[in-house]
Amino acid sequence: MASNVSLRVAKLAVLSESPADEAAFGILIEAVLERPFVRVRANLRARGWPSVLQVLPAVIRHLHFNTDAQGLVVVVDSDDSVVHTEAHDAPDYFHPQCRMCRLRATFRQTVKRLPPARGRERVLRGVGVAVPAVEAWYLCGRDARVTEEAWASGQARGALPYTRGQLKERIYGTDRPSLEYALRRAVAEVERFRRDTRRLEHDFPGFASLAHDLRSWTLG
């Protein structure tokens, strides 16, 4: 995959809710791209759903006209919303309660309206949804019962396999971690995927979607 992209370092921006998650996503993005990247406008931040969705058009616009970012990575937690499935990927389909569908649609509608700027057509899209929360990604490979599939089928049965609080408790030992400790733990867990993200992509299609987006970027 890396062979058909330029050797130039990618410039991309990351929009998420916490500096701890951003640090971990940095490692995952680098693992998927198989090369280092430079993060532009490191001080982007969102106040959780639905604020992410509301600020996304402004963030894309800003990156498009005012920075040389080639792509934008957005990662949100699904919380209790509808989990994205392959069926949602059908042409012209859009599930209004699915955060993946909403973010992709907002991305599409926003870039469509923008004229080319700064030598590029558009800011490339990288969207990931952590089901039900990013701590589930951090537990991937440590507990085979924590998967997107397990959560979605629990949702369908009306019996969730675990709560978001339990996931946090297992990663941080508390559901009130300090930012500094959360950052250390997040980075330590995703280090396991630095050389190989296949397990994470398999267990979490919401991450696989992000990886797919990133690999589709032909930068340079």
Partner 1 sequence: MIASIAFHNFKALRSASVRLERFNLLIGPNGSGKSSLIEGIMRMGALARLPPSEAVPDGEGGGDRAEVRFRLTPPYAAWEVVMRCATRDHCDALRWIHHAGPENPVEREALRERLRSVRRYEFEQAAMVRGGAGLPDAELAPDGANLAAVIHHRRVAHPDAYERWRRDVLRALPEYDAVSAETDAEGSAVIRLRLVEEAEVITHQDLSHGSLCALAIFCLATDPSPPAVLCIEDLDRGLHPRLLREARDALYRLSHPGNGEARPGHSQIVATTHSPYLLDLFREHPEEVVIAEKHGRASTFRRLCDCPDLAEMMAGVSLGDLWYSGVIGGVPEEPETGGAEVRTAPGGGSGS
> Which residue in 16, 49, 61, 93 binds partner 1 (CB under 8 A)?
61
Q: Which stretch binds partner 1 (CB under 8 A): 52-60, 86-94, 135-143, 150-158?
A: 52-60
Is residue 103 at the binding interface for partner 1, with CB under 8 A as the rule?
A: no
Instruction: Please say whether the beta carbons of 127 and 107 come within 8 A.
Output: yes
- Structure-token match 């005012």, residue found: 66
Instruction: Please say whether the beta carbons of 214 and 33 come within 8 A.
Output: yes
The burial of 175, by beta-carbon neighbours within 10 Å (0-12 exposed, 13-18 middle, 19 or more buried), is given as middle
Q: Which of residues 168-187 bind partner 1 (CB under 8 A)?
A: 187
Q: What is the DSSP string of 160-171?
A: -SS-HHHHHHHH
Contact partner, 100, from partner 1, Zn ion, none, Cβ < 5-8 Å per class: Zn ion
CA distance 79 to 57: 22
Is residue 144 at the binding interface for partner 1, with CB under 8 A as the rule?
A: no
Q: How many residues bind partner 1 (CB under 8 A)?
A: 40
Task: Retrieve residue 109's tokens.
Answer: 């509608």
Where on the chain is the footprint of Zn ion (CB under 5 A)?
Answer: 84, 88, 95, 98, 100-101
Q: What three-state secondary structure class fits 125?
A: strand
Contact partner, 36, from Zn ion, partner 1, none, Cβ < 5-8 Å per class: partner 1
Contact partner, 215, from partner 1, Zn ion, none, Cβ < 5-8 Å per class: none
Is residue 47 at the binding interface for partner 1, with CB under 8 A as the rule?
A: yes
Q: Which stretch binds partner 1 (CB under 8 A): 60-68, 77-85, 97-105, 207-215?
A: 60-68
Q: Of the two residues 113 and 176, which places its CB atom closer to partner 1 in the complex? A: 113
CB under 8 Å to 49, separation ≥6 — which residues? 76, 77, 79, 81, 99
Cα distances from 177 to residues 25, 148, 157, 184, in angstroms, run 18, 24, 31, 11
Task: Retrieve residue 72's tokens.
Answer: 């934008």
Contact partner, 84, from partner 1, Zn ion, none, Cβ < 5-8 Å per class: Zn ion
Contact partner, 98, from partner 1, Zn ion, none, Cβ < 5-8 Å per class: Zn ion
Q: List residues near partner 1 by CB under 8 A.
A: 2-3, 7-9, 11, 15, 19, 23-24, 26-27, 29-30, 33-47, 51, 54-55, 57-59, 61-62, 65-66, 187
